[in-house]
């Protein structure tokens, strides 16, 4: 079944001592436009995140929000600057000699107080593992996101299918009424010629010729056949599991073209009213198709 372009999904997991939360939101857009908002320190994973989105979504404006609490995963690494510490120790022993023969011993806690003797750094992270963790949580969010889009898509498909039924009903009314308009035109033409010519005989061949010209002018057989074909194709698309929004949008334009042609050809009031109803259904359906992926 078709999917809507609008949806929302959220997931949260703790992986490798990182608390990761991912939210996915999307609205209508002609093409796929993915924006990722995440902590700057994880910007290296942005391309991987976008590739995950591209595999799950074909079009729409998709916003991905990622937050990471990595406080539990922070591992501190303490290093000793031995050369600098030795220089400090030598300087302290030199000062001790200045003070006199008193015994003096430099201790580690004294050296630790001096700048840059001890350096605390964060342990290097495995970037591939972090990217995989982010994409794993994103995948769960995308599953919820697609489930919502599928639910909305089912509602869209139901509404579009109902409008396709209405279009077929209008098409049948046009097909039923169209031959009657030719017969009525022939009767009116005969009556008018009899009125003008009065006692003179009416040229039946001329009547037939004029009626044939009129029938060719107002004939909508080709349009109604194409309408039925387009409706059939749209029904098939509604059942497809592939993204069909663009194809459906194109076919809706073709359906609208046939409806306009029927409206422009007819001079009959009843068919004109049917054409108005037909175009109204097409316009409503076009609005719905704009939401289809």
Kindly state whether residues 165 and 222 are assigned to the same domain: yes
138 and 173, same domain (yes or no): no
102 and 158 share a domain? Answer: no
Instruction: List Cβ neighbours of 97 (8 Å cut-off, separation of 6 or more).
Output: none
Pairing of strands 32-37, 60-69: parallel
pLDDT band at 73; cut points 50, 70, 90? low
- Same structural domain for residues 27 and 108? no
Query: What pLDDT was estimated at residue 104?
Result: 76
Residues 250 and 188 grouped into a single domain: yes
Q: Report yes or no on 204 lying in a domain.
A: yes
Beta carbons within 8 Å of 180's beta carbon, 6+ residues apart: none
pTM of the predicted model as reported, rounded to 2 decimal places: 0.69
Q: Which one is predicted more confidently, 276 or 179?
A: 276
**Separation CA 219–CA 214 (nearest Å):** 8
Whole-angstrom distance, CA of residue 232 vs CA of residue 164: 9
Q: pLDDT at position 202, please?
A: 53
Residue 143 shares a structural domain with residue 174: no
* Residue 191 and residue 260 in one domain: yes
Tell whether 159 and 279 lie within a shared domain: yes
Give percent of the chain above pLDDT 90.
47
My answer on whether 192 and 133 are in the same domain is: no
Q: Is residue 268 part of a domain?
A: yes
Bigger pLDDT: 208 or 58?
A: 58
Half-sphere exposure of 83 (CA within 13 A, CB side): 0
Output 203 or 257, whichever has higher pLDDT.
257
Angle separating helix axes 46-56 and 127-197, nearest 10 degrees: 40
Residue 260: domain span: 153-289
Pair 88, 184 in one domain: no
* Residue 131 belongs to a domain: yes
Could you tell me if 21 and 137 lie in one domain? yes
The pLDDT confidence band at residue 1, using thresholds 50, 70 and 90, is confident
* Residue 279 falls inside a structural domain: yes
Distance of CA 205 to the CA centre of its chain: 61
CA distance 134 to 143: 14
Average pLDDT of span 139-143 = 96
- 26 is a domain residue: yes
Tally the domains of the chain.
3
Q: Look up the CATH number of the domain holding residue 58.
A: 3.30.230.10
Span of 6-10, 40-44, 67-71, 85-89 with lowest mean pLDDT: 67-71
With contact defined as beta carbons under 8 Å apart, do 23 and 141 qualify? yes
| Domain membership flag for residue 20 | yes
Mean pLDDT: which of 73-87, 124-138, 142-156, 261-275 is highest?
142-156
Asked whether residue 2 is assigned to any structural domain, the reply reads no
Q: Which DSSP string corresponds to the chain?
A: ---BS-EEEEEEEEETTEEEEEEEEEE--SSEEEEEE--GGGGGGHHHHHHHHHHH-SSEEEEEEEEEE-GGG--EEEEE-HHHHHHHHHHHHHHHHHH-S------HHHHHTSTTSEEEEEPPP-HHHHHHHHHHHHHHHHHHHHHHHHHHHHHHHHHHHHHHHHHHHHHHHHHHHHHHHHHHHHHHHHHHHHHHHTTSPP-HHHHHHHHHHHHHHH--HHHHHHHHHHHHHHHHHHT-SS--HHHHHHHHHHHHHHHHHHHHH---HHHHHHHHHHHHHHHHHHHHHTTB-
Q: Judge whether 1 lies within some domain.
A: no
Task: List 118's β-bridge partners, or say none.
Answer: 80
Q: Is the domain of 111 the same as that of 228?
A: no
User: Could you report how far apart the first and last alpha carbons of the chain are, in Å?
Assistant: 11
Maximum CA pair distance of the chain? Answer: 155
Distance in angstroms (rounded) separating the CA atoms of residues 120 and 126: 19
Task: Write out pLDDT tens, residues 74-120.
Answer: 555 778 999 998 998 888 888 888 877 667 788 888 888 888 888 86
Tell me the pLDDT tens digit for each residue of 143-202: 999 999 999 999 999 999 999 999 999 999 888 877 666 555 555 555 555 555 555 565
Which pair of tokens denotes residue 133? 């963790």
pLDDT at 178: 72
């Amino acid at each position: 079944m078709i999917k809507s372009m609008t949806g929302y999904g959220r997931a949260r997991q703790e992986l490798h001592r990182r608390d990761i939360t991912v939210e996915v939101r999307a609205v209508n857009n002609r093409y796929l436009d993915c924006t990722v908002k995440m902590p700057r320190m994880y910007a290296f994973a942005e391309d991987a995140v976008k590739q995950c989105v591209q595999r799950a979504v074909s079009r729409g404006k998709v916003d991905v929000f990622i937050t990471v609490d990595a406080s539990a995963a922070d591992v501190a690494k303490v290093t000793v600057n031995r050369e600098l510490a030795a220089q400090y120790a030598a300087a302290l022993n030199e000062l001790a000699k200045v003070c006199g023969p008193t015994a003096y011993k430099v201790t580690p806690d004294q050296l630790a107080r001096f700048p840059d003797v001890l350096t605390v750094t964060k342990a290097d992270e495995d970037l591939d593992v972090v990217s995989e963790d982010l994409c794993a949580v994103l995948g769960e969010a995308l599953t919820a996101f697609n489930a919502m889009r599928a639910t909305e898509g089912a509602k869209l498909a139901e509404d579009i299918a109902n409008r396709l039924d209405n279009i077929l009903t209008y098409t049948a009314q046009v097909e039923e009424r169209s031959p009657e308009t030719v017969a009525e035109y022939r009767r009116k033409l005969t009556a008018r010629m009899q009125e003008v010519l009065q006692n003179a005989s009416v040229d039946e061949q001329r009547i037939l010729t004029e009626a044939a010209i009129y029938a060719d002018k107002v004939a909508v057989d080709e349009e109604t056949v194409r309408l039925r074909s387009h409706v059939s194709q749209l029904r098939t698309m509604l059942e497809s599991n592939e993204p069909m929004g663009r194809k459906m949008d194109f076919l809706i334009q073709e359906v609208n073209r046939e409806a306009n042609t029927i409206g422009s050809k007819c001079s009959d009031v009843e068919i004109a009213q049917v054409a108005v109803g037909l175009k109204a259904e097409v316009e409503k359906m076009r609005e719905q198709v704009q939401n289809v992926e």
